[in-house]
Chain A
Amino acid sequence: MEKELVINGYRKSFGKSLLYTLPVFLITFVFMSGGRPDFSDPARLVALLVTFAGMNLLYFLMHYTGRTDRYRAILFIIFALSLSFTLISNIVQMRNSMSFSQSDIVECRIPFCHLVIPMMIIPAAFTKSIIFPGSIIGGFADISSMVILWLFATIALGRGFCSWGCFYGGWDDGFSRIRKKPLLKKISDSWKWMPFALLLMVMLTAAMTLVPTYCDWICPFKAVTEFEQVTDTESAIKAGIFISLFGGLVVALPVVTRKRTQCSFLCPLGAINTLSNKITPFTVKIDNEKCTKCYKCTTVCPLFALSREDVNGGRVSVFCSKCGKCVDVCPNNAIHFGIKGVPAGSFRNFSRNLFLFVSFIFISIFSAGSIINTIQSLLNFIIS
């Protein structure tokens, strides 16, 4: 551990790390407490303090140890678990069940998530309406807020959204970390083009049928959020698909490959986010002068964004989600967070500091509500 810290070029002193954490400390305090903490509910206050302290500690450690992915992943995975917990508890409170019924569809009460966005585009252009039985504004997980959150984050972070904002990504990120070494090493990276094919298919089928087909037939996260009530053979087949895809792509394959296989091989929004990587200012750069072609980065990249050809060519592909795993593992500090237009090797610390600040502010505020709710519920459960 000590040796790792010595070779890591981004490590800062204790005082400097504290100084860098101060802006995040103030911003997260204002957003989590609304500037005025609520002292009337002790459980909520404790939950808020734990979340606030935990997040700032993680950000401090990112600067103090110079490592990014390790601490990002902790928050990212907790976010995924807490969001599912919050969503399920909200749904169960509303309906006494994790499954939604025809009544929920008829009354447009289905919570919206960002994965629906690709399917909305063509129908919105042609029919001037949204093909989802949710709430346009107001209520739990409304369409307008989710679209704005995704849009802003994607413009700022590109595919970084998939590692710093997507509340599903934490599931396969978590499972991909269970084993220390992969059991299955050779996977053709041409599978990373599958989300584009799926994007094409779901956009077309949704446009033709005016039904969000990915949600209706494919989404593996139905298994940990909500799903259609099983009332006939068709809904049973759908439930079978959801569970199989969750078991296969979110649990089993990440465990044996140490890759985020759902994000790499299935997610159609991931394909759009990949394209948005072209506009975001932040990127990951390879300093050819320092790179010794050890290819450790290609082995650890969870999203097949770095091939040997990419390393030899001195560039990271558009599939990069800026998780920081390659940056952490590089023994020569040849890979670093960068800004487009700035040559590799220049402004390394500045680029990292700015990127971490932007992405951490996003994930911490976005995730705070569900993490606080989860801790509060657990505390209430323990107390009762």
Chain B
Amino acid sequence: MNDYSVNIESLSFAYDKRAVLKNIHLKARRGQVIAIMGSSGCGKTTLLKIISGALRPTEGAVHVEGVDVGRLDQAGIYALRRRLGMLFQFGALFTDMTVYDNVAFPMREHTDLPEDMIRDLVLLKLQAVGLRGAQHLTPAELSGGMARRVALARSIALDPKLMLYDEPFAGLDPIALGVIGDLIRRLTDTLGLTSLVVTHDVQESLKIVDYVYFISEGVIVAQGTPDEIRASTLPYVHQFVHGEADGPMAFHYPAPAYDLDLGVQHA
């Protein structure tokens, strides 16, 4: 059996003629939590969309669970997605359903399980994220962290092989942030998943991941274990890890000279 849940080789992607990803090589070993980091707009969400089959690579090959995603038709992509789970940035819970119905949704859509068995499975998933008692609430009654946990329970409803997380820590308070981070690690280990986490939350991610890829302007500029990343002297990684305002990622947006803009005449 292939050791890698995701294997990306020489991937390039462009929107029309604007290159977003350039010659990406990335591997995610089974059972690991892999972080893909980079500043906003660097192409990491695009990479997630390519892995999930929402976008097709312009060049290169993307193998997910042994399947070349770029060659799949719509039916093949849907078949692959039944083996994937995805946690969206703000949960994307169905607002017209209760917490229970949200988690039951994938089971009702894709299986013929009787309702009493679905109930047991839903309670099991909600118990795993600590929200069994919130099953009757609606998404409007949940805090941001709780909504994220319900969405996590929903995304593991069909026992996926690979979990994709799109900015799972965005907008959370420190407690909820720690809870989500801990859940990602714990679910990966206990369910034997592979997890791919797209994030720019360095401190939280480095606590839970096994390997990190840094993307800048569509290129992988650094990679390594969390310890290697922390010790990295690469200017971009150093700026990112230490949250410095200026560096390779400039603080100022490109602009004409300040004195010219102000109309100041030099003597």
* Chain A bound to chain B: no
Chain B positions within 8 Å of A, measured between CB atoms, are none
Chain A positions within 8 Å of B, measured between CB atoms, are none
